[in-house]
Amino acid sequence: MSHAVASGWRLAADGWRLPPMRRLREWAQRLKAELVALWFCTRHPRTPLYAKALAVALVAYAFSPIDLIPDFIPVLGYLDELILLPAGIWLVLKLTPADVLVECRAQAARWLDERRSKPRSYLGAALVIALWLAVLWLAWRWVESWLAY
């Protein structure tokens, strides 16, 4: 293992070393581009229904302005961004035909070049709020039944 790799730096294609934060930023930009491509896959007629359903849920959650697990919670707060979203993206990419992905990635690249921002999903925010309300209601019912004894 080279010293550059061992110290957290890696060589770019042009031979220059990339610092870890820049690599992380590039990974986040690729992740954003893949999410926008999946957003277009949800509207593509040749995307299989099971891939569409998973992509809709994933994109709605990823573009939601509210996190399921708030980021201020130590370790668990970033679990969804670091594990669940990449795993979900990987699965949807495997379930979607390659030619559909090529079309949707090209469409996403054009969309990102024009707008330079990610879309927002208010449906995703509403679903996260509904889930939290359901959890709070269940917790209240549990506490209420526990106190009744």
Range(s) of the domain holding residue 83:
30-148
pLDDT of 16 reads 57
Query: What does the pLDDT look like over 25-39, one tens digit per residue?
Result: 777 778 888 888 998
* Residue 100, domain member (yes or no): yes
Whether residue 9 contacts residue 20, with contact meaning beta carbons closer than 8 Å, is answered with yes
Domain count, the chain: 1
Instruction: Give the bridge partners for 10, in sequence order.
Output: 18
Instruction: Give the bridge partners for 18, in sequence order.
Output: 10
* Residue 106, domain member (yes or no): yes
Residue 10 reports pLDDT greater than 60: no
Distances (CA, A) of 53 to 48, 92, 104, 109: 9, 9, 16, 23
Q: How many CB atoms lie within 10 A of CB 48?
A: 14
pLDDT of 1 reads 45
Query: What does the pLDDT look like over 41-63, one tens digit per residue?
Result: 999 999 999 999 999 888 887 87
* Residue 16, domain member (yes or no): no
* Residue 102, domain member (yes or no): yes
